[in-house]
Structure 1
Amino acid sequence: MTSIITNTAAMAALQTLRSIDQSMENTQNRVSSGYRVQTAADNAAYWSIATTMRSDNKALSGVEDALGLGAAKTDTAYTAMNSSINVVMEIKAKLVAAREPGVDKDKINKELTELKNQLNSIAQSASFSGENWMYNDSTTAVGTKEMVGSFVRNANGTVSIQTLEFDASKSILIDSKNANRGLLTVGVTVTQPSGTTTTTATYYLINPSATTTATGTEVKISSATTDDNLEGMIMAVDTTLKNMTDAAATLGAVNSRISLQKDFVQSLTDVIDKGVGRLVDADMNEESTRLKALQTQQQLGIQALSIANGNAQNLLQLFR
């Protein structure tokens, strides 16, 4: 039946054209935004996963910054410790030279004084972001330092922060409030020669402050210093050097761990970005092909609607 009231063909063509226009709009949005899943309406499950993972990635970016700060602190401490080791090695060499008969020990002591001043300067200047793991002027002992290491999302959805730890009390060179807490201020007890026998003696390199006295005898020499005492000082300095080397090795290990963790976090961030991309990114080759097909369908739909509307005009021929 042909009716001028209800144009069934035009209605069908119009409905098809509307569907094509809607598909074209969606495809154009994907092409312009680059996303296949841009809102929750596109795919609620994928959108939810992608949003959560993007949030975790931002947290990992913060972890990466924190690791950079931790690396800077350990680098500063290691550099100071390594420089101090070189100075203590020089002190040890000066003491060995002073053992030579006929050497002017008073002049060597002046060199020792300057070397110890250098150690003090290194310890006090080894500060980064307000933290100094080489020098302590507080009555409270320096404790374990924590550095943000990772951001973890558990299987049940809960999140937590994992940290890297370093016991800074083992790297303190000078403690102005308690001499026993500093590698350079603590008294080192050795067994030194005493004529034909031996005796115990305690030596320290640096007296921490005017108000705090270290235990034992300071490593300083004069023309009256005996060879036995010199040998005891050399033993004490050598022990101090070993302790500083151990502290430097620990700092190096922590720094290496931070570097490895930072590389891992960077790789993990990239992997998460790729995973999110697989879920929500649009395939531009596929979308461009679909857009071309929809443009063709749209043209055909417009033509079909034009034909359907033209059928009503043909009825006029019957009344002429």
Structure 2
Amino acid sequence: MASVNTNYGALVALQSLNQTGRDLEQVQQRINTGLKVSSAKDNGAVFAIAEGQRARVASLGAVMDGIDRATSVIDVGLSAGEAIGDILKQLKEKGVAAQATDLSDDQRAALQADFNALRNQIDQIANAATFNGSNLVNGTNVGGSSTFNVMTTDIGGSSGAYALTGGTLLAGTDPLSVHGNLEDASGGLDFSTAAQLRFSITSTDGSETTTLNVDLSSTDTVQQFIDSVASQTSGRVTVEYDEETGDLSLHSNEAFTVGYYVSDTLTDDGGVFGAGAAGTAMTGAPGAAATNQLTVTGFDFTLGATGQALENLTSSLNISTASGAAAAVTAIDDALVNLNRDLATMGAQAKALEVQKTFLGKLSDSIEAGIGNLVDADLAKESARLQALQVKQQLGAQALSIANQAPSIVLSFFR
């Protein structure tokens, strides 16, 4: 039907042209911002995820800044400790020299003056080793305490794995039957009948509880028992055995109970697998919450600090006599040993922070890469699409023009 009131072809052409215009606007937006998701309007779910991860990257940056500050505090402390160590070596040199018996009074007085001058520099160095108000070597540290905490991650600690500690066993290569608290004549566990551990494991979301059985054999070694638990629970429960203490412990990332069964009867396990009595299954307890902080320990390298490295290095040391010099050398040797021990501890703390910062840097880079995968636009693809849409827009305009001319054919009917 030919009509001048309704031009369906023009309506379709106009809709197509408008859609092309919207697509073109979207492509231009992506090219301008470099993002395929620049606002919640583009893709609400992806935008929310990306914003959350951007906040995490910012948090990690703050944590790394804190680690940098703590590392600087430790580095300053280490520098001061090394300087104090150099002074102790010079003091020892003076003390050894003063042990000679052929020195005149004037020579001994000169050695004593040098000794006193060097010794008095120690407190000055220790008190000057401050960075950002923190000092690790004069006994004050942050907030006047002996330690301070450094954030090592932006995420708070969560509960650790569930664990159950049992009794003490012998060497892991011994058969279970030779362990006095497993099988003996005085009431240990009896493997002459069908014996097994029965685990009841609840999934992390609490939706499902599974029962798994681990058979026990008197011919198994402790190591074979460990392997059996891991294999027969598909790794959901593991066993740790401490060769030094002989302690046996069961671990799982899921809540669990375990019972010792003989011929399908819950039986007293003698405290071997946990503190379970007859008729009572043992429950794995959740571990302590993981920490997201590292405690940095400081020391006091000032003269005569009680319980510290230089405790015996006091103003009473006198090298004006050979015997006094020998006593001073002994005190200096003790101070050097203790100082080097404390410096090793501080160095280990600095190394731990360095390792953590390296990890956080890699983690931050990975998160940023993940954000890019979610929201970054493929500019090569968008460039090709831009050209296609520009051509399509021109063709759409031509099509709309042609469609608008269609009703004019009606005039030919009236000639």
Q: Deviations over 1:234-291 (max 9, x none)?
A: 1221011100001111111111222222222222211111110001100001111111
TM-score norm. by structure 1 comes to: 0.82
Aligned counterparts of 1:95 and 1:58: Cα–Cα separation in 2: 55
Question: Are positions 1:4 and 2:4 aligned together?
Answer: yes
Indicate if the aligned counterparts of 2:126 and 2:137 stay in contact, CA closer than 8 A. yes
Is the deviation greater in 67-76 or in 125-134? 125-134
Distance, in Å, in 1 between the alignment partners of 2:405 and 2:344 is: 90
SS in 1 for 2:149: strand
SS at match of 2:309: coil
Q: Among 301, 310, 324, which residue is 1:173 paired with? A: 301
Alignment equivalent of 2:390, drawn from 264, 286, 295: 295
When residues 111 and 142 of structure 1 are mapped into structure 2, their CA distance, relative to the original with a 3 A threshold, is farther
CA drift of 1:83 comes to 0.3
**Counterpart amino acid of residue 59 in structure 1:** S
Aligned to 2:41: 41
Change over 3 Å in CA distance of 1:105–1:81 after alignment to 2: same
Residue 156 of structure 2 is aligned to residue 61 of structure 1: no
Q: What CA distance in whole angstroms lies between the structure 2 residues aligned with 1:236 and 1:77?
A: 22
Normalising by structure 2, we get a TM-score of 0.64
Matched position secondary structure for 1:40: coil
Q: Identify the range of structure 1 (117-126 vs 1-10) with the bigger mean alpha-carbon deviation.
A: 117-126
- Map residues 140-289 of structure 1 onto 2, 5 A cutoff: 142-152=145-155, 162-168=292-298, 171-174=299-302, 179-184=305-310, 186=311, 204-207=312-315, 218-222=316-320, 225-227=321-323, 229-289=324-384
Overall identity of the aligned pairs, in %: 32
Report the residue type matching 1:48 in the other structure.
A
Q: Could you say if the C-alpha distance between residues 25 and 235 of structure 1 is closer, same or farther in structure 2, counting changes exceeding 3 Å?
A: same
Distance in 2 between the 1:319 and 1:258 partners? Answer: 92
Whole-angstrom distance in 2 between the partners of 1:129 and 1:181: 27
State how many pairs are aligned.
Answer: 281
Distance 2:112 2:119 in 1: 10
Structure 2 unaligned blocks of 5 or more: 159-203, 205-289
SS at match of 1:91: helix
- Counterparts in 2 of 1:206 and 1:92: CA distance versus 1, 3 Å: same
Mapped to 2, the partners of 1:28 and 1:56 lie a distance apart of 30
Q: Deviations over 1:50-106 (max 9, x none)?
A: 111000000011111111101110010000000000101111111111112212322
Rate the CA distance shift 1:299–1:291 in 2: closer, same or farther, 3 A.
same
- C-alpha separation in 1, matches of 2:144 and 2:11: 85
Which has the larger displacement, 145-154 or 237-246? 145-154
The amino acid across from 1:276 in the alignment is I
Distance 1:137 1:248, change over 3 A: closer
Aligned to 2:296, the other structure's residue is in SS state strand
Report what 1:84 is aligned to: 84
Equivalent AA in structure 2 for residue 174 of structure 1: T
CA distance in 1, matches of 2:157, 2:18: 46
CA distance in 2, matches of 1:98, 1:226: 6
CA contact (8 A) 1:34 1:281 kept: yes
Instruction: Give the CA deviation at 1:317.
Output: 2.6
In 2, Cα distance between equivalents of 1:153 and 1:313: 75
Aligned to 1:214: none
**Which of 100-109 and 296-305 deviates more?**
100-109
Moved segments of 4+, more than 6 Å: 153-156
Q: Distance in 1 between matches of 2:28 and 2:41?
A: 16
For residues 114-142 of structure 1, the C-alpha deviation after alignment (integer angstroms, 9 at most, x for no partner) is 1011112101111111122222479x974
**SS in structure 1 opposite 2:154?**
strand
Return the offset for 1:220. 1.6
The alpha carbon displacement at 1:304 in A equals 0.9
Greater helix share, structure number: 1
Checking the alignment, whether the CA contact within 8 Å between 1:143 and 1:167 is kept in structure 2 is: yes
> 5+ residue gaps in structure 1?
187-203, 208-217
One-letter amino acid of the counterpart of residue 32, structure 2: S
Once residues 36 and 75 of structure 1 are traced to their aligned partners in structure 2, the CA distance between those partners, rounded to angstroms, is: 45
Distance 1:161 1:13 in 2: 64
Name the aligned partner's letter for residue 413 of structure 2.
Answer: L
Residues 126-176 of structure 1: CA deviation (Å, up to 9, x unaligned): 1111122222479x97422212222127899xxx972221221xx21127x
- Is the CA contact 1:81–1:248 (under 8 Å) kept in the aligned structure 2? yes
Are the equivalent residues in 1 in contact too, given 2:122–2:302 (CA < 8 A)? no
1:121 aligned partner, one-letter code: Q
RMSD of aligned residue pairs (Cα, Å)? 2.3
Query: One-letter code of the match for 1:246?
Result: R
- The 1:21–1:137 alpha-carbon spacing in structure 2 relative to 1, beyond 3 Å, is closer
